[in-house]
Amino acid sequence: MALTPYQEHHLKPTFERLGRWLFHPMVEASLAHVVMLAERGILDEAQARRLCQALVGLRAVQAETLAYTPDVEDIYFWIERALAHEVGPEVAADLQRARSRNDLDAAVFRMLLRTDLIHLIQTMARTGVALARQAHAMSDVVIVGYTHRQPAQPTTVGHVLAGYGEALLTQARTLAGVLPVINRSPLGACAFAGTDFPIDRNRVAELLGFSGLVHSTYESVAGADHFGLVAGGVATALSGGARFCRTLLDWLGVDKGWLTLPDAFVQVSSIMPQKRNPVVLEHLVALAGDAVGLATAVLVKSQDSFYEDTDIGTTDVQLNVRESLAIAQRFYQLLGELIAVLRVGRVPAEAEMIGQYVTTTQVADTLTALGLPFRQAHSVVSRLVKSGKTPSAWRAADLQEACQAVTGHALEAAPEELEARLREALNPFRVLERATPGGPGRQAVRELATELEAAFTDLAGRMDQEQERLTQSRRLLDQALRELGVRLEA
């Protein structure tokens, strides 16, 4: 049978992507619904048993093998047709008693999203642990820190890794905070106005592992904010991840070479034998761009729809949301494995860092410690920078001359003391002893790295518990089916 343009260009591709994803959650949601109908006396137990037995048979279907045919509009009607073949059309039609495709579709996509979110947060946590461990290991690897793409101050590889680790922890916790919003059941809302049947919404939610209800039956069907929360969280996280990847890409460049990657993470040139291209990081940045684009699509579609059941604001954004989560999963899996194998390369030498003026702030701080107001100290050092003399060539006499020119008087310090203080201030490795909490000091970085690893491990454990809770709800549903007389074993 020839397909209509609508079938060919929308219903068929939607069925083959989104419909296949929704198939198994829809079977489970249908089983829970029928169990509840039987328990509430809304559906005869014998009829409910026949329906559930047929539904249990669908558990074995490989969703990726499902094929679209023009006699069914979507995956729901595919299931109803399969049930009708097993138990007859009249019994199969009773599956929809006290239920609509509206609340069913909203529920099964939430079931998909919660699992995807749990897996993503677990992956982010593993990446965070890798970051924390590398931050600890590289807490004494001093490099040049940049602002506005210009050399700024000394820092360490570990300091930067721990910094991104803290951001990643915030991003992962943000998504974890969205999980309870996603894991609420809209079932029982029906089309949007509920039903006169004496249903038990809480029982269905319990059997499916939902932690609560979307209480308003209208919001249950019309709501789309949860899509935006997921998409926004993913986009924010991957935007930050892309920035970090660009910094790593800079560090891995041959002009710096502060870090190196094993051959498995680089590509060679077809003509230039010297090339080891870390293009994996370019691909990560591109993946992040894909996720941000999909998130934008979710928000644009949502704001362009009415606050009611509408495909623009609900089903038409589902693909975008799930694809963004799939991209994020790939992003963090790859990034985490890459971080774990980073190795220290050719870090900048002391003279190189001093020659880039990155320790001049330390010189200004030293002058302030000797009694000069900071703004004047800043002006004194600025005058030395503009003199064209490299910092390694600065001497106590140069400081005194600049101080006299800026303030009208010299520093009250012996030449030997001033010289020693200047040499100490110019030393970029002095930063390793800095005591600022969360700063680049060796001990501060190691303390933060330890805290981050513990926090990521705790977050992963919480997600494991959520996954186990869903497994327990499946056992609860199976127990209810057995009490109904349904055979679960093949």
Residue 175 resides in a domain: yes
Element (DSSP H or E) covering residue 343: strand 343-344
pLDDT tens-digit readout, 413-451 = 888 999 999 999 999 999 999 999 999 999 999 999 999
Give residue 268's pLDDT band: very low, low, confident or very high (50, 70, 90): confident
Q: At what angle do helices 20-39 and 101-137 cross, to 10 degrees?
A: 120
> Which letter does DSSP use for residue 265 in this model?
G
Residue type present at position 415:
P
Q: What is the pLDDT of residue 45?
A: 96
Residues 289/234, Cβ–Cβ less than 8 Å: no
What string of DSSP letters covers 21-43? Answer: HHHHHHHHHHHHHHHHHHHTTSS
User: 309 and 194: one domain?
Assistant: yes
Angle at CA 436, nearest 5°, toward 125 and 391?
115
Q: Are strands 212-213 and 184-185 parallel, antiparallel or unpaired?
A: parallel
Residue 480 resides in a domain: no
- Tell me which residue range forms the domain holding 189: 102-350+443-473
Does residue 52 have a pLDDT over 70?
yes
Angle at CA 221, nearest 5°, toward 219 and 223?
50
CATH number at residue 60: 1.10.275.10
Residues 161/134, Cβ–Cβ less than 8 Å: yes
d(CA 377, CA 402): 10
Q: What is the pLDDT of residue 303?
A: 86
Name residue 477's beta-bridge partners: none
Q: Say what percent of the chain tops pLDDT 90.
A: 82
User: 48 and 188: one domain?
Assistant: no
Residue 202 resides in a domain: yes
User: 200 and 249: one domain?
Assistant: yes
Average pLDDT of the segment spanning 210-216: 97
Q: Which residues of 394-431 are buried (b: 16+ CB within 10 A; e: fewer)?
A: bebebbbbbbeebeeeebebeeeebbebbeebbbbeeb
How many structural domains is the chain composed of? 3
User: 148 and 134: one domain?
Assistant: yes
User: 58 and 109: one domain?
Assistant: no
User: 278 and 184: one domain?
Assistant: yes
**Which of residues 52, 72, 97 is at a domain's end?**
97
Average pLDDT of the segment spanning 29-51: 97
User: 182 and 262: one domain?
Assistant: yes
User: 331 and 389: one domain?
Assistant: no
Average pLDDT of the segment spanning 398-409: 90
Average pLDDT of the segment spanning 484-489: 93
For residue 238, is it left (φ>0), alpha (ψ between -120 and 50) or beta?
alpha
Q: Which residues of 434-451 are buried (b: 16+ CB within 10 A; e: fewer)?
A: beeeeebbbebbbbbbeb
What string of DSSP letters covers 298-325? Answer: HHHHHHTS-SSS-TTTTHHHHHHHHHHH
Which residues lie closer than 8 Å to 346 by C-beta, 6 or more apart? 256, 257, 258
Residue 185 resides in a domain: yes
422: its two tokens: 């200047």
| Mean confidence (pLDDT) of the chain | 94
pLDDT tens-digit readout, 452-462 = 999 999 999 99
Average pLDDT of the segment spanning 6-28: 91
Average pLDDT of the segment spanning 298-324: 88
**Which of residues 71, 97, 123 is at a domain's end?**
97
Phi, psi of 343 (to 5 degrees): -130, 150
Q: Give the E-state strand segments of 149-199 in sequence order.
A: 150-156, 184-185
CA-atom Rg of the chain in angstroms: 31
User: 122 and 255: one domain?
Assistant: yes
pTM higher than 0.75: yes
d(CA 168, CA 129): 10
Q: What is the pLDDT of residue 17?
A: 87
Judging by beta carbons within 10 Å of its beta carbon (0-12, 13-18, 19+), is residue 193 exposed, middle or buried? exposed
250: its two tokens: 């800079």
Does residue 490 have a pLDDT over 70?
no
d(CA 334, CA 317): 26
Average pLDDT of the segment spanning 270-298: 91
Which has the minimum average pLDDT: 192-196, 251-255, 355-359? 251-255
Q: What is the pLDDT of residue 417?
A: 92
Residue 188 resides in a domain: yes
Q: What is the pLDDT of residue 72?
A: 87
Locate tokens 């461990």: which residue? Answer: 133
Q: What is the pLDDT of residue 274?
A: 81
Give the 3-state secondary structure of residue 110.
helix
Q: Give the E-state strand segments of 114-253 in sequence order.
A: 142-147, 150-156, 184-185, 212-213
Q: Say what percent of the chain tops pLDDT 70.
A: 100
Does residue 18 have a pLDDT over 90?
no
pLDDT tens-digit readout, 63-107 = 999 999 888 889 999 999 999 999 999 889 999 999 999 999 999
Q: How many CB atoms lie within 10 A of CB 489?
A: 5
Which residues lie closer than 8 Å to 205 by C-beta, 6 or more apart? 184, 185, 187, 211, 212, 213
Does residue 266 have a pLDDT over 90?
no
Residue 228 resides in a domain: yes
User: 418 and 460: one domain?
Assistant: no
Residue 31 resides in a domain: yes
Does residue 314 have a pLDDT over 80?
no
CATH number at residue 223: 1.20.200.10
User: 303 and 226: one domain?
Assistant: yes
**Which of residues 63, 97, 131 is at a domain's end?**
97
User: 144 and 245: one domain?
Assistant: yes
Which has the minimum average pLDDT: 172-176, 214-218, 233-237, 255-259? 255-259
* Residue 459 CA neighbour count, 13 Å, CB half: 30
Q: How many residues does the chain have?
A: 490
Does residue 112 have a pLDDT over 70?
yes
Residue 180 resides in a domain: yes
Does residue 388 have a pLDDT over 90?
no
